[in-house]
Structure 1
């Protein structure tokens, strides 16, 4: 056989193999399509039987919305369906003002779990704590309610009361009566702690970066040349808008990647970089976190940690390393779908792991004893996404669910009563001394 004949025979064989492979691929796709139609037929059958035989009449819209929400919530704890009213409420909330109790919640084992109360709101003033479970609303169990339905029940006319039954680790269930209020989130608060600037960010809404820049300008005018550095307090900050987390990180960084997001399709990977200009001019920064610091808070902490721009102090963060996209459904609200994971500049995924502080500082011992059994982290949530950077054999080690700060949420913590903040201020002063000697 000549080499030309061999190449020709090989080409025919390759063509035959390719055609066979294509045939089998088409068969597999056809089989999958047939299976999908069978499952849709199953859904239609169940739908019709419920409409016909359920003990009470149920509306088509109620059944369809419940089915859609069930499909989304079965994926992970953060995907869900938002009907038109819930979608409108969410849009109002991200603007930084909404009506309700002032509490960030998630759902776990059918109950509503407190992620973080918002400072100076009815929930915070009543002493609700991260990790509390809400089991009943006005005496009715929350079991069977979707997260969106439970949130809707907690909202209502300003001034109207609602009774929450709370299950807290180590305590008997107890009731708390809250009066609904207009929640105006002042997401950034600041003051001088002696010669150290203190900035607390409670959430990441549309005005956060603007408010942060104004706060830093105000602190510089108050502290003048004597200011030694800044403490950025992200404890019990449940997160918010991704673009605001990027903008806040950019305030403290002069260059480099802030965060990357990676979707299922590699071509959809996005990288976000800092622009030139560190608003604090390289002064020492300490970031405070705890297990109530989630999502956008972890993006900021991770970026500043990876760039060695700040010391991270406190306890391990919540571990929510996923990105949700709000997809409007014209005439039917929207769906919140987990579409990507985010990664810190060094390529770390903190999904279900959290950010480890550079220096672990637990709250005052008295609080650690009272909440020693409390566990709060993303990894504990039902259907939580796995961390795709870990080897399968290693599994996912939950974040340390360490207790929250000993300071009540009804006021911005003061260094003389807040052990973690006091240590952060001490670190700033120490870093400032080291920095001044290095410059000399």
Structure 2
């Protein structure tokens, strides 16, 4: 997910009007479309606001007329009356989002929205992993290093089938995640499908803990290569990354390994700031392609402090979204070699809108393209040097991709770009 913006869409306004109208009970018992239109105009035009016509199409009441009919029939005839109006309202909004047939355009109820906010703030209670929807399946992007999920053996690419025995097919990604999270020191059982030849189904019992994430860590190996790992792109990442670069430069390192493995992304502004450290002024970091085909480039914020030092970027199938933006920008500008595995392929933009009751919707508004206009969504990035992690290597504690990156940087003529 990318950072929030202040954007208003007519479809969003119409959805909000639906929620307000349902919440106020305007349409309970309504029989006529004329009454529906009248009530809609009353709700859509509060004192001091713009006119209803400015907020949504003139015929919005007619378009939603069938919804009011269904609402009225449920309220009058359903055997389980009285019906919870909030539940119906949320169901209607979910239905609108699901009709878009986009796994990333979603509705979040207030509880799920609070959980999402907590994770962005860097601390929450859960198992410590990121889950995204991929090919209609709840797929593990990456377990955090040292987390309960990693300790239990959860891996990037695992597909979550059930949570505590409850099937999650058909649930939105945040709804599934809300089942996984819970109070510290309680356990949750995940039934997962691990792709492979053959594929295998496993039950993992994981004890939840308080998860606190440190965005950037760094070290200098053997005195000459700096290894900087970014776990996610939070609001503090640019500052932490700048400090790591300063430490590396003070030790006169010959190259940098930028480790973006198992990085699920984060704020666009933070990703652009990191890429800017390696690129000259006015370089394009990423291109935002809107639904109408217009393209908006996002450029380097200011010329960085590491324009010449050789760089190798480590990627894997847990490298997603903002991490793919950074890797793609450095590769397209011939500033880095990509080493590891093909990336996740999350290249769409979601704008979050919090609604008046604390619930929220996220709407996909654009796609990301690399500076050379390569598509990220559903495709990902292919590394220049493929190094696949093996089960034997994981068992032995070997990091073959890191070893290859260090070898490239310590070669007689360290490369800062892929060979032509």
- Shift, 1:286, TM fit: 0.4
2:189 to 163, 181, 194: 163
In the aligned structure 1, how far is the partner of 2:319 from the partner of 2:82? Answer: 44
- Shift, 1:234, TM fit: 0.9
In the aligned structure 2, how far is the partner of 1:173 from the partner of 1:296? Answer: 31
Q: CA, structure 1 residues 59+145, in 2 after alignment: closer, same or farther (shift >3 Å)?
A: farther
Q: Which residue of 2 aligns with 1:176?
A: 204
TM-score between both structures, scaled by the size of structure 2: 0.76
Q: Which residue of 1 aligns with 2:234?
A: 205
Check the 8 A contact 1:229/1:432 in 2, yes or no.
no
| Deviation sequence 1:38-88 (CA, Å, 0-9, x none) | 652333333444453366865221122122123224431211112223223
In the aligned structure 2, how far is the partner of 1:125 from the partner of 1:289? Answer: 21
In the aligned structure 2, how far is the partner of 1:263 from the partner of 1:176? Answer: 41
Q: Which residue of 1 aligns with 2:249?
A: 220
- Shift, 1:334, TM fit: 1.8
1:44 to 68, 75, 87: 68
- For residues 119-134 of structure 1, what are the structure 2 equivalents within 5 Å? 119-134=145-160
In the aligned structure 1, how far is the partner of 2:200 from the partner of 2:107? Answer: 34
In the aligned structure 1, how far is the partner of 2:311 from the partner of 2:134? Answer: 35
| Deviation sequence 1:186-228 (CA, Å, 0-9, x none) | 121211222211111111111111111122223334xx23x21
In the aligned structure 2, how far is the partner of 1:109 from the partner of 1:55? Answer: 36
Q: Secondary structure at the match of 1:430?
A: coil
Please report the RMSD computed on the Cα atoms of aligned residues, expressed in angstroms. Answer: 2.7
Q: Secondary structure at the match of 2:266?
A: coil
In the aligned structure 2, how far is the partner of 1:54 from the partner of 1:208? Answer: 54
| Deviation sequence 1:355-403 (CA, Å, 0-9, x none) | 1222223334x56xxxxxxxxxxxxxxxxxxxxxxxxxxxxxxxxxxxx
My pick for the range that moved more, 84-93 or 45-54, is 45-54
Q: Which residue of 1 aligns with 2:214?
A: 186
Q: Which residue of 2 aligns with 1:383?
A: none
- For residues 366-381 of structure 1, what are the structure 2 equivalents within 5 Å? none
In the aligned structure 2, how far is the partner of 1:301 from the partner of 1:323? Answer: 17
Q: Unaligned regions of 5+ residues in structure 2, if any?
A: 1-56
| Deviation sequence 1:138-159 (CA, Å, 0-9, x none) | 2222234332222222222121
How many residues of Structure 1 are paired with residues of Structure 2 in the alignment? Answer: 354
In the aligned structure 1, how far is the partner of 2:412 from the partner of 2:345? Answer: 28
- For residues 298-377 of structure 1, what are the structure 2 equivalents within 5 Å? 298-364=324-390
In the aligned structure 2, how far is the partner of 1:329 from the partner of 1:125? Answer: 37
Q: CA, structure 1 residues 158+206, in 2 after alignment: closer, same or farther (shift >3 Å)?
A: same
| Deviation sequence 1:77-130 (CA, Å, 0-9, x none) | 211112223223222222222221111112357653212212221111111011
2:304 equivalent to 1:278: yes
Check the 8 A contact 2:408/2:415 in 1, yes or no.
no
Q: Unaligned regions of 5+ residues in structure 1, if any?
A: 1-32, 368-405, 436-440
1:92 to 114, 118, 124: 118
- For residues 398-417 of structure 1, what are the structure 2 equivalents within 5 Å? 407=394, 417=398
Q: Which residue of 1 aligns with 2:287?
A: 260
Q: Which residue of 1 aligns with 2:93?
A: 68
Check the 8 A contact 2:104/2:133 in 1, yes or no.
no
In the aligned structure 1, how far is the partner of 2:139 from the partner of 2:352? Answer: 22
Q: Secondary structure at the match of 1:173?
A: strand
Normalized per residue, which structure has more helix?
1
Q: Which residue of 2 aligns with 1:419?
A: 400
Q: CA, structure 1 residues 355+146, in 2 after alignment: closer, same or farther (shift >3 Å)?
A: closer
- Shift, 1:322, TM fit: 1.0
Q: CA, structure 1 residues 111+289, in 2 after alignment: closer, same or farther (shift >3 Å)?
A: closer
Check the 8 A contact 1:95/1:207 in 2, yes or no.
no
My pick for the range that moved more, 77-86 or 195-204, is 77-86
In the aligned structure 1, how far is the partner of 2:376 from the partner of 2:132? Answer: 19
Check the 8 A contact 2:217/2:228 in 1, yes or no.
yes
2:294 equivalent to 1:294: no
Q: CA, structure 1 residues 303+58, in 2 after alignment: closer, same or farther (shift >3 Å)?
A: same
